[in-house]
Chains A and B, each alone.
Chain A
Amino acid sequence: KQEVTQIPAALSVPEGENLVLNCSFTDSAIYNLQWFRQDPGKGLTSLLLIQSSQREQTSGRLNASLDKSSGRSTLYIAASQPGDSATYLCAVFGGATNKLIFGTGTLLAVQP
């Protein structure tokens, strides 16, 4: 059974700092991995999608990497801003289950 874990569970940083969020998964037989952002009481916004054959994806100040063999992904946020404050979720889409399995989330607070 696929399990997805995110570390840390919560993170508070001053504005301008670069930061890394971690995601690990137990079954490396995945098709792709997505990073999402969720603001309080809202739906999920897709940030980045990494296919299993890719090593990283970039969008603006965000960079996500994938090491499928070790079951790890990281989301790097450069020059953080207060508007980045949200919960960040990683999710893997696996071959065995054909559905998206979510991690536990990281609650990020960027202090002005």
Chain B
Amino acid sequence: SAVISQKPSRDICQRGTSLTIQCQVDSQVTMMFWYRQQPGQSLTLIATANQGSEATYESGFVIDKFPISRPNLTFSTLTVSNMSPEDSSIYLCSARGGGVKDRYNEQFFGPGTRLTVL
């Protein structure tokens, strides 16, 4: 299976600032994703991070607010810009299409970044 790490694991930020979250996968993967999970709720897909091109955003999420980079097949960043208290959530990086052959179609998740905006 693919092992995914995220940095930072948690942060407390002031309103109006930006935070960049890093995601590193231990093997090359075809697809990387960013999710948000608000307290007590299930996961919401923010965007698919495309290697070498602009990310594909889901309805309700825009590039100016959540710029994403994916410079190679193992690394991606998500920036939460101009933060407000409503952005307080857990942000999760996810990947599929990598690792050992029999788990190629399996999707894996990082440990998450717990963000609190004051």
Chain A residues near B (Cβ < 8 Å)? 31-32, 34, 36, 41-46, 49, 51, 89, 91, 93, 99-100, 102-105
Contact = CB atoms under 8 A, between A and B. Distances in A.
Residue in A42, A44, A93 with the greatest tally of chain B CB atoms within 10 Å: A44
B48 A99 contact: yes
Contact of B42 (A31, A46, A49, A102): A102
B90 A51 contact: no
Contacts of B43: 44, 89, 102
B111 interface: yes
Nearest to B92: A43
Interface of B is mostly: strand
A93 B107 contact: yes
Interface of A is mostly: strand
8 contacts: A42-B112, A43-B92, A43-B110, A44-B92, A46-B1, A51-B105, A100-B96, A103-B42
Contacts of B94: 100
Interface string B97-115: 0000001011111111010
In the A-B complex, list the 5 residue pairs whose CB atoms are closest, starting with the nearest: A44-B109, A43-B111, A43-B112, A43-B109, A49-B106
A34 B108 CA distance: 10
Interface in B43-78: 43, 45, 48
Contacts of B96: 100
Contacts of A51: 105
Given A32-B105, A100-B45, 20 more contacts: A31-B105, A34-B106, A41-B90, A41-B112, A42-B112, A43-B92, A43-B109, A43-B110, A45-B109, A46-B1, A46-B108, A49-B103, A51-B105, A89-B42, A91-B107, A93-B107, A99-B33, A100-B33, A102-B42, A102-B43
Nearest to A101: B45
Contacts of A102: 42-43
Contacts of A43: 4, 92, 109-112
